[in-house]
Amino acid sequence: MLSLNNKRLIAVSIRPFRTHIKLNPLEINNPQVKSGHTMREQSNLELKDLSKAQKKKQVLLGFLAILGSILIYSLDTFFDVTFFDQDESFWDSLILDVEEHEIYMRFFTISVFLSFTWVFNRLLKNLFKTQKGFLVAKISAEEANQTLNQAQQIAKIGDWSIDLKSKEQFWSAEYHRILGYQLHEVSPSLETFQQRVFKGDWAKVQQAFEAAVTNQEAFHIEYQLLLPDEQVRFVASQGVVQFGQEGEPTYFHATTQDITDRHLIREQLLQAKETADNANRAKSSFLTMMSHELRTPMNGVLGMTQVLKMTKLTEEQESYCDVILKSGTNLITILSDILDFAKIEANKQTVLHQPFSIREVMEPACALFQGAAMAKGLSLSFNVAPGIQECFVGDSLILSRVLSNLIGNAVKFTNEGEITVNLQLSSETADQQTIRFEVIDTGIGISRNKIQDIFDPFKQVDDAITREQGGTGLGLSIVKDLVELLGGKVVVLSTLGKGSCFQFACLFDRWVPGENLIDLPEEMVIPLVDRELEALVVEDDQINQQVTCKMLTKLNILADLATDGSEAFNMAKTKRYDIIFMDLLMPKMDGYQATQLIRNAKDSLNQDTPILALTAMISDRDKEKCIEYGFNEYISKPIDFEKLKNTIREYQTQPQ
């Protein structure tokens, strides 16, 4: 039997063991125990602690079993009942050697102990199961929240909300950063937000918010923030209003994105675009000035050559003049190609919508190269398919430029055979027709792998051909761009050594002569008037003075000469002229100012006299400017004698 002192020893010995067992969930989740870890690491540590606690529970149950045995043994001693006899088994002593009330007492004690152990085990099991579920849910929520915070940080998007009844606000961690604060550094409030909004933007932010809440309009606005460190930040906010059952606004949920980088990139792109536009303008200005400087002396070369051909020449001298004219014309063509390319590249080429005759485009385009084709023994012809209308509305100048380039190339690269220009009707409606143009030659052809290259600027099929035939390599590049302006696309079918076919289709509006689509002067085909005309030539360049005066002399026109705009204005006040030829760029007073003075002066005798601009400036803007300043017509240098004659005829046959 155990003495009372032995029992006390047992009771004292188990106290230290109990002090190491933690069953309180608050103790397990105490964040102070495991500070310095991330939220996920903290939760994982708590799960490990829970697992350790479960193991300690198993140890505790084992300890309780031992404690129960000791309790039974103690009861045996206290009631002076023998549970175990040295000479008898447990069942023998339980059934044979004890009285009936002692058996009941022993069974009752064992039952109470087993029931207590079972209940205690179930309570602990449910407690740990609940605690584990709580920790798993906590980890999942923390992972989702951490993922959301990382996503917001990467996208630089913060979310915020306002309880429209209590005026309480919630700001996410990223929204704090966007406003220039650390998390929990300030309390979310309207006053704090207003301090950060750029003063010039606060009114529109407030207006957009009120419109969203009151009128249910979309809340989407970009504005600037001024951070505590004086840094400027550009943001974009968008949000929605949540309404209650009775339609009253209850909550406002929104996101705000930091778009400072995007704004800076946009500013850089705008600056780059402006720089590129300035460069294009400088390039266009340079090309225009170079064209002017080159065309001015070429006017003297080609103009005098045309005058020279009107004199009596030997066959050899006439051939020399032809060479000069051909070479000068080729140079002017190159200048025109470069200027056209610059205009297309700068998106300054405009498409006109004016009535024109399809045959009046085709015939001059073919006639222009008829002489070159005959010189090489080539046949050049064009065919118009039945059903194609005679007149359309469109840009005949661009169409003529395209056909001239294609026909010119065909003549250049064809040594024998023929060149044919076909017009086919692709489709039609009551108001429109789609015409397919084909330029077919029997020339050198193009290899399949070089077809795409021929449309690149400054490229030709073969360098040897370039040296032999000449040219800049801009012709087909210009053709491609001009056809696209007309709404078509160039298609090339070619076989090396057998020839090529260039095709493109354009949609034109039908036009019936007599319709008042646009006011055009009627074409006059009558000779110059028989009487002698008097003209005023305003030109500062001596060579151009001689060229223009000589051409006018051949047309039976007497010419007075002025060397600048001021002199021309004074002469126009004292004498009436039939026509005035005015250069644009001159010293002292340019042609624009002189024309304005002549048109507006009360004592001028030439307010209604036709004034024709003669200049090497040939851009569309220059032509528009001439009309704005009161010019009647625009003739580009070098002056073509036939064009000069036709222009004079046109204005002298009109009623004054």
**pLDDT at residue 541, rounded to an integer:** 81
**Residues 636/618, Cβ–Cβ less than 8 Å:** yes
Which CATH topology does 354-510 take?
Answer: Heat Shock Protein 90 (3.30.565)
Q: What tokens appear for 598 in the block?
A: 């002549």
Distance (Å, whole) CA 457 – CA 477: 5
CB 637 within 8 A of CB 645: no
**Non-local CB neighbours of 495 within 8 Å, separated by 6+ positions:** 445
pLDDT at residue number 418: 92
Beta strands at 533-538 and 557-562: parallel, antiparallel or unpaired? parallel
Same fold, 156-258 and 354-510: no
Please tell me the CATH code under which domain 533-652 is placed: 3.40.50.2300
Q: List the one residue out of 191, 249, 256, 179 whose CA is nearest residue 221.
A: 256
Q: Report the 3 state secondary structure along 201-213.
A: HHHHHHHHHHHHH
Contacts 24+ apart (CB under 8 A), 517-523: 517/355, 517/393, 518/353, 518/354, 518/355, 520/354, 520/355, 521/650, 521/654
Which pLDDT belongs to residue 342? Answer: 66
Q: Quote the tokens at residue 648.
A: 């004079």
What is the torsional sign of CA 251, 252, 255, 256? negative
Contact 498, 415 (CB under 8 A): no
Q: What is the pLDDT of residue 76?
A: 54
Are 382 and 418 within 8 A, CB to CB? no
Cis upstream peptide for 297 (omega within 30°): no
User: What are the tens digits of pLDDT across the range 292-350?
Assistant: 667 677 777 777 888 888 888 888 888 888 878 877 776 777 777 676 666 666 566 67
Q: At 341, which helix (H) or strand (E)?
A: helix 315-345
- How do strand 533-538 and strand 579-583 relate by DSSP bridges? parallel
Report pLDDT for 633. Answer: 86
Burial of 560 (0-12, 13-18, 19+ CB in 10 A): middle
Contacts of 472 (CB under 8 A, 6+ apart): 334, 337, 338, 458
Alpha carbon of residue 37 to chain centroid: 47
The two beta strands, 432-441 and 379-384, are unpaired
Q: Which residues of the chain fall below pLDDT 70?
A: 1-117, 119-135, 138, 284, 287-288, 291-293, 295, 330, 337, 339-349, 457-474, 513-531, 616-620, 653-656
pLDDT of residue 97: 46
Read off the tokens for 442: 């029997």
Residue 382's pLDDT is 86
Q: Angle 575-557-587 (CA atoms, 0-180°, nearest 5)?
A: 60
| HSE-up (13 A, CA, CB side) for residue 358 | 27
Q: How far apart are CA 489 and CA 491, in angstroms?
A: 6
> What CATH class has 156-258?
alpha beta
The pLDDT, as a whole number, for residue 349 is 65
Q: Using an 8 Å Cβ cutoff, are 413 and 469 in contact?
A: yes
DSSP states of 93-111: HHHTSS-HHHHHHHHHHHH
For position 17, what pLDDT does the model report?
A: 32
Q: Is the pTM of this model over 0.75?
A: no
CA dist., res. 175 & res. 612, Å (int): 69
What does the domain layout of the chain look like in residue ranges? 4-150, 156-258, 271-330, 354-510, 533-652
pLDDT in tens, 160-211: 999 988 888 989 888 888 888 888 888 888 888 888 898 888 999 989 898 8
> Contact 480/345 with Cβ under 8 angstroms?
no
User: How many residues would you count in the chain?
Assistant: 656
Q: How far apart are CA 372 and CA 383, in angstroms?
A: 20
Neighbouring C-beta atoms of residue 40, cutoff 10 Å = 12
Query: Containing H/E element for 160?
Result: strand 157-163
How much is the pLDDT for 497?
85
Q: Do 358 and 446 form a contact (C-beta atoms < 8 A)?
A: no
- Report which of 414, 411, 402, 423 is spatially closest to residue 476, judged by C-alpha positions: 402
Residue type, 644: L
Opening angle at CA 129, ends 123 and 131, nearest 5: 100
Q: Give the pLDDT score at 652.
A: 73
Q: Which amino acid is residue 514, in one-letter code?
A: G
Rounded CA gap, 299 and 367, in Å? 23
